[in-house]
Amino acid sequence: MTDVLRRGRASLAFSFFAQGATFALLVTRIPAIQDRYGVSDGLLPVFLAAVPILAGVGSVTTEQLVKRIRPSVLLRWSQPVVLLALLGVGAGDSMAELAVALGAFGLGVGALDASMNMLGVSLQRTYGRSIMLSFHAAYSLGGIVGASLAWAGAHWHLALWVSYLPVVAVLLPTAFVGSRWYVDGGAPGAEGEGEGAEAGSLVFKLLLPLCLVMTFAYIGDSTVSNWSAKYLKDVLGSSEQVATVPYNVYMVMCLVGRGIGDLGVRRFGAAAVVRLGAVVAAVGFGVVAVAPGAGVGMLGFTLVGLGLCVLVPQTFAAAGRLFPGASDTAIARLNVFNYVGFLIGSPLVGALGDAWSYRGAMLVPMVLVLVTLVYARSFAPQEGRYGDGHERARTADVGRGSNGL
């Protein structure tokens, strides 16, 4: 059973890694994609908004599919769809082909994100201790690798499909072979009975605080990913080269924070880690808002990464604790607010920056992240559920691996 758990954890971590690399390869080459297809500045936001909207549709669809199909099966097949869609983005010639590729990418990402986190939460429940942050650390590592490969492709002026093809050729078969060791938490449809049916009727009422935390976290994340470079260059007067540094530093700090975060959860509890993360992230945004120069600004973005990185994994984990019999449903619904935050964050900061000031705009994610403190009690273990008080020993019943299907 121990080997089953270890293989399941390693294969799922690789899936997170692959998705981090894939997403980074897409978003960091948006200017090149725009040039390849001749997408105007006015039309570009439509394409960019379509991806998270369709991802939300994919997540909602996954909620229904997991009643009949194991999450491991959905993950096994959605990951190749996302990887092939990335290749399609790089290899297409017309606007219509770009729309189809991005549509497939969005729908696939929604199913992929939801099913990955479903498996992560169920595996954490089996372990009986916090391991969720380690999966998201693998995602951050993949993002760093993907962004580095994208930089190399841009530096050497490689065609998009030339940059994407080797990555897809390596990740797709490796992830597919690894998928045979995914570990499911139970049989499909099991959460529709007993406690699961009762939890399902209450899921949104109890899930709402976590949905808000997820939204606020992704507003903060999208602020960094979309506006950090512009902020350093236009507001703090850095060079264009220096302006590319904050996002890389942010991703590295996410990796560091998630790499050690599970230890903090085991020692101090999820609620304490979430509170600390929210405060550190808020301080980071505050430092960014008042920074006199680029060096202090980068320090602020460093703090944002270190604090913000714990919120999303712990939000998924908290949903699993709140609804042990309906965790797949809760996670699929919660995952939608990932994309809500992404859709709101970038336009909100941009509009405030244009109408007011970008320094003032940085105070908005700061305040929203601090609101997380109000909902921190939702992250505390509930009586009679796994993780209550001290960590328990892992269970013997690990479910069936997906290779048994």
Question: Which residue has 């948006």 as its token pair?
Answer: 30
Average pLDDT on 373-401 reads 58
- pLDDT tens by residue, 54-100: 999 999 999 999 999 999 999 999 999 999 999 999 999 999 999 99
Let me know whether 313 and 277 are in one domain: yes
Let me know whether 113 and 21 are in one domain: yes
- pLDDT tens by residue, 343-367: 999 899 989 998 999 999 999 999 9
Let me know whether 266 and 117 are in one domain: no
Q: What is the Cα–Cα distance from 183 to 265, expressed in whole angstroms?
A: 23
* Phi, psi dihedrals of residue 183, rounded to the nearest 5°: -115, 120
Angle between helix 270-290 and 195-230 (nearest 10): 20
Answer yes or no: is 392 within a domain: no
Q: What is the Cα–Cα distance from 387 to 125, expressed in whole angstroms?
A: 8
As a residue count, the chain comes to 405
Q: What is the mean pLDDT of the chain?
A: 88
Give the pLDDT score at 324.
84
Average pLDDT on 176-192 reads 74
- pLDDT tens by residue, 103-130: 999 999 999 999 999 999 999 999 999 9
Residues in Cβ contact with 157 at an 8 Å cutoff, skipping those fewer than 6 apart = none
The dihedral formed by the CA atoms of 145, 147, 152 and 158, expressed in degrees to the nearest 10 = 120
Say if residues 197 and 206 touch (Cβ distance below 8 Å): no
Reference 270, options 307, 305, 311; nearest CA is 311
Let me know whether 116 and 205 are in one domain: no
Q: Residue 194 — pLDDT band, cuts 50, 70, 90?
A: very low
- Residue 42 burial by Cβ neighbours in a 10 Å radius (0-12, 13-18, 19+): exposed
Say if residues 176 and 303 touch (Cβ distance below 8 Å): no
| Number of alpha helices (DSSP H) and beta strands (DSSP E) in the chain | 16, 0
Let me know whether 117 and 204 are in one domain: no
CATH code at position 196: 1.20.1250.20
Q: What's the structural domain count of the chain?
A: 2
- pLDDT tens by residue, 392-403: 444 433 443 443
Q: What is the Cα–Cα distance from 368 to 216, expressed in whole angstroms?
A: 6
Let me know whether 202 and 165 are in one domain: no
Answer yes or no: is 405 within a domain: no
Let me know whether 62 and 153 are in one domain: yes
Give the pLDDT score at 206.
84
Q: What is the Cα–Cα distance from 149 to 139, expressed in whole angstroms?
A: 15
Let me know whether 148 and 16 are in one domain: yes
Answer yes or no: is 20 within a domain: yes
Answer yes or no: is 351 within a domain: yes
Which residue(s) pair with 183 in the sheet?
A: 401
Let me know whether 151 and 199 are in one domain: no
pLDDT at 239 over 90: no
- pLDDT tens by residue, 277-326: 999 999 999 999 999 999 999 999 999 999 999 999 999 999 999 888 88
Give the pLDDT score at 401.
43
Domain span at residue 199 reads 192-385
- pLDDT tens by residue, 196-214: 444 444 457 789 999 999 9
Let me know whether 200 and 258 are in one domain: yes
- pLDDT tens by residue, 15-47: 999 999 999 999 888 888 988 999 887 888 888
Answer yes or no: is 31 within a domain: yes
Let me know whether 156 and 202 are in one domain: no
Answer yes or no: is 402 within a domain: no
Answer yes or no: is 187 within a domain: no
Which of 150, 175, 200 lies at the terminal end of a domain, its last residue? 175
Assign 183 to helix, strand or coil.
strand
Give the pLDDT score at 383.
54
Answer yes or no: is 390 within a domain: no
Segment holding 190, helix H or strand E: none
Q: What is the Cα–Cα distance from 53 to 354, expressed in whole angstroms?
A: 25
Average pLDDT on 174-194 reads 73
In the chain, what percentage of residues exceed pLDDT 70?
89
Q: What is the Cα–Cα distance from 224 to 17, expressed in whole angstroms?
A: 21
With helix as H, strand as E and coil as C, how does 335-366 read? Answer: HHHHHHHHHHHHHHHHHHHHHCCHHHHCHHHH
- pLDDT tens by residue, 149-159: 988 888 898 99
Among the listed ranges 231-245, 299-313, 378-392, which one has the minimum average pLDDT value? 378-392
Let me know whether 231 and 332 are in one domain: yes
User: Is the C-alpha dihedral spanning 35, 160, 57, 122 positive or negative?
Assistant: negative
